[in-house]
Amino acid sequence: MGHRELEAALRREGEAKAREIWQQVEAEAGKLRLELEQQLKKEQQGLQRLIAIETEGLLDAARTTAQQQAQLRRLEAEQQLAKRLKTLAEGRLEEISRTGGASLFKQLAVEIPEHPWQLIKVHSRDQRAAQELFPQAEIRPSEQIIGGLMVQDQQGKVMIINTLEKRLAHLWGDLLPELMIELRKRVKTDETAA
């Protein structure tokens, strides 16, 4: 074997070895690429799960906030409605007092216990009826009283207020929930009809 032949054999052997190394490198690179792609896919899936969880959390928080705001607005609207209903009820007291007249005044007056009352405050339209029922007392008209009466003894220690205004104020806590329940029923009925 001559020098050229040796050189050619070494070259072939070197090229074969280089091809073999290159194929091993390519195979290793392919394995690494596949492993990296799989790892990247897993990380992307994990990231997508985290994004989905975070998004769901944000949506839940937004829903909760929206529900709280809606509930707050509903409560504010109900408070405004309650004030309006009370104003309307107070506005009706004048009409109730006028239409009830002396009969209504007498019904309220007989609820007052026997006592030497010195001062009786009434609306000016009830002044005559008060004088008939309490002839010994000073009858003082008060436009602040819509209907009914306020009685006081001589020392001012005993006072009874039996006015339509006080009755409404006293009963309003029981009356308002019933009115609100009835209004809610009507609103639901109107919503289902629409």
**CATH number, domain containing residue 153:** 3.30.2320.30
Is 18 inside any structural domain? no
Residue 117 and residue 131 in contact, taking contact as beta carbons nearer than 8 Å: no
Is 160 inside any structural domain? yes
Residue 112 and residue 162 in contact, taking contact as beta carbons nearer than 8 Å: yes
Residue 122 and residue 145 in contact, taking contact as beta carbons nearer than 8 Å: yes
Is 26 inside any structural domain? no
Q: In sequence order, what E strands does 6-127 have?
A: 119-122
Is 52 inside any structural domain? no
Q: Which of 94, 156, 102, 97 is nearest to 129 (CA)?
A: 102
Is the confidence at residue 191, as pLDDT, over 70? no
Domains of the chain: total:
1
Residue 149 and residue 122 in contact, taking contact as beta carbons nearer than 8 Å: yes
Is 17 inside any structural domain? no
CA 120 to each of CA 74, 108, 109, 111, 150: distance values in angstroms, whole numbers, following the listed order: 44, 13, 10, 14, 6
Where in the sequence is the domain holding 170, given as residue range(s)? 74-193
Q: Following DSSP, what letter does each residue of 95-128 receive, concatenated?
A: HHHHHHHHHHHHHHHTTSPP----EEEE-GGGHH
**pLDDT tens per residue across span 55-108:** 999 999 999 999 999 999 989 998 999 999 999 999 999 999 999 988 999 999
The pTM is what? 0.63
